[in-house]
Structure 1
Amino acid sequence: MKFDLDTAWKDATGLLSRNFGLLAVIAGVFFFLPYAGITLALPEVSQLQNAQATGNPEVMMAAVTDLYVGYWWVFLILAVVQGAGLLAMLALVRRRANPTVGEALTTGARSVPSYIAAQLMQSALIVIVAMLLVGFGAVTGLQMLAALGGVIAFVVICYLVTKLSLAAPVIAIEGELNPLRALQRSWSLTRGNSMRLFAFYLLLLIAFIVLSAVLSLVFGLGFALFGEQAALLGEAVVSGFVNATMIVIMVCVLAAVHTQLNRLASEPDGAVEA
């Protein structure tokens, strides 16, 4: 059998409805408050958003560099906190022992080093692949080859991200604390369903981008009517809300996908190569 998009979405919405209250609380503490707080506390964040509005890649890159060089330690702490929150939510919705919130948070805190290590390994692999494919075209000096290398690199990166997307559920739900084995397990689970899984993720991403753009526009204009400070506050609140909402939905989707692919892998015909 193959991965079924409709079943995965129904399972994800079921998980969301059954666990909405607890997920909202954890997402509020681990994602909404930190994200909104950073947006308000760091003026460079608003400068970055202004740079993005210009559409100038050089200005945007300079703003990103200034932000991360100046506050790298803030983003490191944020990555640890949000990683723990993500893992806690995954454990909460799918651990067979039905853990309490406290047990789920403990699982998140204990698993976050493995999760961060897996993310670093995945990022390193993506960077190496991108550098090799894009760099080969750039070295030849031929614009067409460089462009082709960029397109191929983008496709390969999308494939790698899809194949390794279940590392977090493997760590939080299955309890696999070895980051390399977690990535290998994700690769194995997605075998034979990579294209369907990518299509599922892509559809959700498009829907989320459209929804977040509409919300940001509507609420941003509403807050802007009350002055510059209100607009800044509104931007932080809306950004934090959108970020927390995305994480809650992502958690339920990843848990549902992991459950379905785990079930398919255990069936006699679940080992089809692709």
Structure 2
Amino acid sequence: MSTAWRDAVSMLNANREVMLIVAGIFSFLPSLAASFLAPPMQIAPAGIGDTGEDADLIMQQLVQAYTDYWWVFVLMMLAQSVGFIALLALLRDTKRPTVGEALKIGLYGFIPYFVSYMLLCLALGLAIGIVATIFSLTGVMALVGLAFAVGFVAAIYVMVKCSLTPAIVAIEKVYNPIAMLVRSWKLTKGNSLRLFGFFVLIGVVYLVISMIVGMIVQALYIALGQASVAAQVVNGLVNGLVGAIATMVFVAVLAAVHHQLAGPSTEQVSETFE
């Protein structure tokens, strides 16, 4: 996985300008727009919430926000998914597509990618639900809890196995949802544990950075006034910037992992002997 990380850094450096443009349009701007379209959550004053009241308030606000402004988050998810696939195409497509061509790949590949994701979630949900129902018939709650725990671990395993699906769409141009999942499953064979550790490491680093940035933003939020336009602008800019950078890094990592596991494409091999 160290090789994949070096390749990812190399891809980022070599394609920095074009990635900044696409990530800015399809990750930064949607996140910034969402911060204005959806109302910000009210931050509880320091010292309040030791009994968990602030956590309940935040949860209620999250549920209310997603209920009232679901269309904002759907549009943001659509734009970011298209941009994600387009970035993968820009990094690894041997035909060196232009930004416009990469965006067409992103638009064309979004629907099969979305369908494959929904099929995966549906299959996991049904499998876990059936197993939990069978165990619940025993009347032993410990067995039900065990079933959900095993199901959670199995779900993580399956998600890791199918993690290369967007790369299959963008790079290999496979648009059959089932074929995409099968291809990702085969590519990750024998590397699931290492991929899991690699993704967890990246996730932990992202979480730590997000927490630090979040504390800084919260301090600015309180200083500027939670209801002020300036606070919304700062919140949107910071969240959008962090999200765009994270998208660029993860796209590069996924492209590098795919390159390492799938090897050079047929076109690359043929070009070598021309």
TM-score by length of 1: 0.85
With over 3 angstroms needed to count, the CA separation of the structure-2 counterparts of 1:148 and 1:66, relative to structure 1, is same
Once the two structures are TM-superposed, the CA of residue 128 in structure 1 deviates from its matched residue by: 1.9
SS where residue 192 of structure 1 aligns? coil
Q: Is the 8 A contact 1:39 1:236 kept in 2?
A: yes
Report if the CA contact (8 A) 1:169-1:254 is conserved.
yes
**Distance verdict in 2 for CA 1:130–1:24, change over 3 Å:** farther
RMSD in angstroms over aligned alpha carbons?
2.6
Deviations 1:3-61 (A, max 9, x none): xx110111111111111111111111111111121122212x526x87998334x972x
CA distance, structure 1, for counterparts of residue 225 and residue 58 of structure 2: 26
How far 1:136 moved relative to its partner?
A: 4.0
Q: Is the 8 A contact 2:87 2:251 kept in 1?
A: yes
Which residue number corresponds to residue 145 of structure 1? 143
1:13 equivalent among 9, 30, 40: 9
Encode CA deviations 1:79-128: one digit per residue, 9 max, x unaligned. Answer: 22221111110000000111111111111112111111112112212222
After TM superposition, give the deviation of residue 219 of structure 1 in Å. 3.7
Q: What are the ranges of 5 or more consecutive residues in structure 2 without an aligned counterpart?
A: 267-274
> Is the Cα–Cα contact under 8 Å of residues 136 and 149 in structure 1 kept in the other structure?
no
CA offset at residue 132 of structure 1?
3.0
Q: Give the counterpart of 2:78 among 80, 86, 99.
A: 80
Give 1:46's aligned residue. 41
Describe the shift of the 1:218–1:191 C-alpha distance in structure 2 as closer, same or farther (beyond 3 A): same
Q: Quick one: which of 186, 191, 196 aligns to 1:193? A: 191
Aligned counterparts of 1:219 and 1:69: Cα–Cα separation in 2: 25
Sequence identity (%): 33
Partner of 1:248: 248
For structure 1, which runs of at least 5 residues remain unmatched after alignment?
267-274
Residue 137 of structure 1, CA deviation = 4.2
Secondary structure class of the residue paired with 2:263: helix
Partner residue in 1 for 2:159 = 161
Greater relative contact order (CA < 8 Å, ≥ 6 in sequence): 2
In the aligned structure 2, how far is the partner of 1:69 from the partner of 1:224?
A: 26
One-letter amino acid matched to 2:120: Q
Question: Is contact 2:106–2:170 with CA below 8 Å preserved after alignment?
Answer: yes
Q: Which residue identity lines up with residue 202 of structure 1 in the other structure?
A: V
Inter-CA distance 236–138: structure 2 relative to 1 (3 Å threshold) = farther
The answer as to whether partners of 1:134 and 1:146 remain within 8 angstroms in 2 is: yes
Change in 2 beyond 3 A, CA 1:74/1:138: farther
| Equivalent pair of 1:189/1:265 in contact (CA under 8 Å) | no
18-27 or 158-167, which deviates more: 18-27
| 1:220/1:231 contact within 8 Å kept | no
Please report how far the alpha carbon of residue 250 of structure 1 lies from its aligned counterpart in structure 2 after TM superposition: 0.9
Mean Cα deviation higher: 72-81 or 176-185? 72-81
Higher alpha-carbon deviation: 130-139 or 85-94: 130-139
Q: Do the aligned partners of 1:220 and 1:234 also contact (CA within 8 Å) in 2?
A: no
CA contact (8 A) 1:31 1:244 kept: yes
- Superposed displacement of residue 183, structure 1: 0.8
C-alpha distance in 1, partners of 2:4/2:139? 46
**Residue number in structure 2 paired with 1:270:** none
TM-score by length of 2: 0.85
Say if 2:41 and 2:58, in contact at 8 Å, map to a contact too: no
Q: CA deviation at 1:65?
A: 4.2
Residue 23 (1) aligns with residue 19 (2): yes
Distance 2:85 2:165 in 1: 11
Could you report, residue by residue, the CA deviation over 1:217-244 in whole angstroms, capped at 9, with x for unpaired residues?
A: 1243235323322333322222222211
- Equivalent runs, 1:173-184 vs 2, <5 Å: 173-184=171-182
Q: CA deviation at 1:139?
A: 4.5
Q: Which runs of 4+ in 1 moved over 6 A?
A: 49-53
Identify which range, 126-135 or 23-32, moves more after superposition.
Answer: 126-135
Distance 1:53 1:176 in 2: 48
Change in Cα spacing, 1:16 to 1:265, as seen in structure 2 (3 Å) is closer
Q: Which residue of structure 2 lines up, in the alignment, with residue 105 of structure 1?
A: 103
**Count of residues in correspondence between the two structures:** 258
